[in-house]
Chain A
């Protein structure tokens, strides 16, 4: 049988890869993809903890459902912002988007 540790290590690795994507990517859409990976890692953790420690209680499931809702809202608004910015500035490279630099 699979011990809890495997899931945690797997989720941690996925989270770190996503975080790297968020920090290192230039393209705003790619940054959002990194965020998706991180949220997925969180969901794996939540479900693994639920499965191994808190099984019959549905708190874990509710958490996962709320994370899904948050992910959907974040993607929708984030991509809408990216598209809107692209229309005005014709770029989605985050470094070029600093308003302060003008």
Chain B
């Protein structure tokens, strides 16, 4: 085992443990804290994939914005704050079994795939060149449409979310 492999295993273990804590811990605020750790682990695994851009973007968007927004929402919905009582549905073992089965099926199907054990080739120089990505994003023959659609989607999300969240005439508590 190389150092890189050991490092990957450690990161994966921490991330998965944090993810398990996210779905199982009782206090919702602690779930948010564990979520941040899990997201950070994913960012590190992006860096291991030699996509530094997305490793940093993961921290900026997920930890810097989405996690903070989730924490805000947790604090805005106070009544579940101290989180007495079980946080899982009564029949929680049914999804657990289903998910375990799904996982086994996924890994089983994947392991029959011929490309399963592919080793990484050296990354071509062009692949880490952000300006190529930028050119592709505005190239009509490449990804110009997704680029513009993304902005429209975000505009829709912004308008919709503001409309929903700020109903001043709604029931104020």
Contacts and interface: CB of A to CB of B under 8 A. Distances in A.
B23 A34 contact: yes
B144 to A, nearest CB: 10
Nearest to A6: B8
Interface residues of A, number: 74
A10 to B, nearest CB: 5
A6 B96 CA distance: 23
A89 B12 CA distance: 39
B84 interface: no
B110 interface: yes
A29 to B, nearest CB: 6
Nearest to B111: A5
B141 interface: no
Contacts of A68: 57, 61
A101 interface: no
Contacts of B19: 14, 17-18, 37
Interface in B127-173: 127, 132-133, 136-137, 142-143, 146, 150, 153-154, 156-158, 160-162, 164-165, 167, 170-173
Max count, chain B CB within 10 A of own CB: residue among A34, A53, A72: A72
A92 B80 contact: yes
Interface string A1-12: 111111111101
A15 B117 CA distance: 20
Interface of B: 2, 4-5, 8, 12, 15-16, 19-20, 22-23, 28, 31-32, 35, 38-39, 42, 45-46, 48-51, 53-54, 57-58, 61-62, 65-66, 69-70, 72-74, 76-77, 79-80, 83, 86-89, 92, 95-96, 98-100, 102-103, 106-107, 110-111, 115-121, 123-124, 126-127, 132-133, 136-137, 142-143, 146, 150, 153-154, 156-158, 160-162, 164-165, 167, 170-173
Given A53-B115, A83-B73, 10 more contacts: A5-B111, A14-B19, A19-B95, A24-B95, A58-B132, A71-B62, A72-B65, A79-B165, A86-B79, A87-B172
